[in-house]
Amino acid sequence: MRRSTRPPRRAKKSDRSLRSTLRLFSMTSSDSEAEDDVYSLCVPLPEDRISLRHISGFDNTGNVRIWPGGEALAYYLSIRPPLVSGKLVLELGAGLVGLPGFIAAIYATRVRITDGNEHSVASLRDIAKRNPLPNVEIEQLRWGAGAEERKFDLILAADCVFFSEYYEDLLNTFDRFLAQKGLVYVCSPKRKGSLDRFIEYIEDDSRFTFEFIPEFDYIMDDLCILKDEQRDAELPYLLSLKRCLLDHTICFILGKVQFDPEVVAHVSALVWDTVSSDWTSDLLAFSK
């Protein structure tokens, strides 16, 4: 699998290939001639289809295909190496392929690629064995579980926000692993309002602030050829999250505090008495 600089070849009926939505990477069989000026990633494909029992119980949609958020985030990292260069990187919900994590590993100091599903983890370990990336570690990780001492400069979460029942565990995992000045990249299509619901959850949660990355939008609009009816489900957006500053947290807490009406009335009366008795003399003194 290589970043595509031209339209990928048309797949043959005999090809057993991964399903890719955006076609940002060219996918060729292992017997194809390699090019010297591109990075390649060897991705062994499962011999059999994934059983439904392997994708039930929690968010295992990464077992089904290469989703657009993962493909787009991997591409963006491949053309913006400084985003990951020299950093400790964690990918959550990597699925069968972990494309963003493996691309990040080309430039990062160390990358941990994780998924909650054991079959995805087995696939990720197989990919890691076939590629000369000694700075990669693979781990099974379910969001919100356990404790962790190591903190990461950058967390990657592609196509992880489709289901609102996992938002709390996902944000708890961000909080658990993110360094104090670290960033989280969340990449996902809007897909039936799921991205908007996630943004609302972030705002209510108060631990993180977020912003969209306009440059990413420009690149995707330029490269992704999608019909209007496909854009909601397939066109990804990139959010950058960071920890809230202390003043944001204080403002949020104060906004939740309720004061006794009698206390408010008493304080108001004291303020009014002070202002009404002093303001005229103060105003005259100031005007001289």
Statement to judge: residues 282 and 166 lie in one domain: no
Cβ burial 40-60 (10 Å sphere, 16+ → b, else e): ebebeeeeeebeeeebeeebb
Statement to judge: residues 133 and 186 lie in one domain: yes
83, 77 contact by CB (below 8 A): yes
The DSSP letter of residue 66 is B
pLDDT for 272 equals 59
Query: Which residue range(s) make up the domain with 86?
Result: 55-250
Residue 158 phi/psi, 5-degree rounding, is -105, 130
Rounded-to-integer distance, Cα 268 and Cα 274, Å: 10
Residue 99 domain-assigned (yes or no):
yes
Residue 102 domain-assigned (yes or no):
yes
Residue 79 domain-assigned (yes or no):
yes
Statement to judge: residues 185 and 271 lie in one domain: no
Q: What is the number of structural domains in the chain?
A: 2
pLDDT for 31 equals 56
Statement to judge: residues 111 and 243 lie in one domain: yes
pLDDT for 63 equals 45
Statement to judge: residues 266 and 236 lie in one domain: no
pLDDT for 83 equals 98
pLDDT for 232 equals 82
Statement to judge: residues 104 and 202 lie in one domain: yes
Statement to judge: residues 136 and 241 lie in one domain: yes
Angle CA 106–111–113, to nearest 5: 115
Statement to judge: residues 190 and 246 lie in one domain: yes
Taking only the tens place, the pLDDT of each residue in 166-198 is 999 999 999 999 999 999 999 999 988 999 999
- Residue whose token pair is 């399903």: 19
pLDDT for 7 equals 39
Report how far apart, in Å, the C-alpha atoms of 100 and of each of 69, 78, 109, 158, 217 are.
9, 9, 15, 8, 17
The DSSP letter of residue 90 is E
Q: pTM, whole model, 2 decimals?
A: 0.74
Distance of CA 84 to the CA centre of its chain: 14
Rounded-to-integer distance, Cα 190 and Cα 195, Å: 5
Statement to judge: residues 229 and 127 lie in one domain: yes
Statement to judge: residues 148 and 265 lie in one domain: no
Statement to judge: residues 132 and 264 lie in one domain: no
Residue 97 phi/psi, 5-degree rounding, is -110, -40
pLDDT for 36 equals 52
Inter-helix orientation angle 214-223/68-79, to 10°: 110
**Cα atoms found within 13 Å of the Cα of residue 216, Cβ hemisphere only:** 25
Cβ burial 245-280 (10 Å sphere, 16+ → b, else e): eeeeeeeeeeeeeeeeeeeeeeeeeeeeeeeeeeee
Show the low-confidence residues of the chain (pLDDT under 70): 1-21, 27-40, 43-65, 146-147, 246-288
Residue 138 domain-assigned (yes or no):
yes
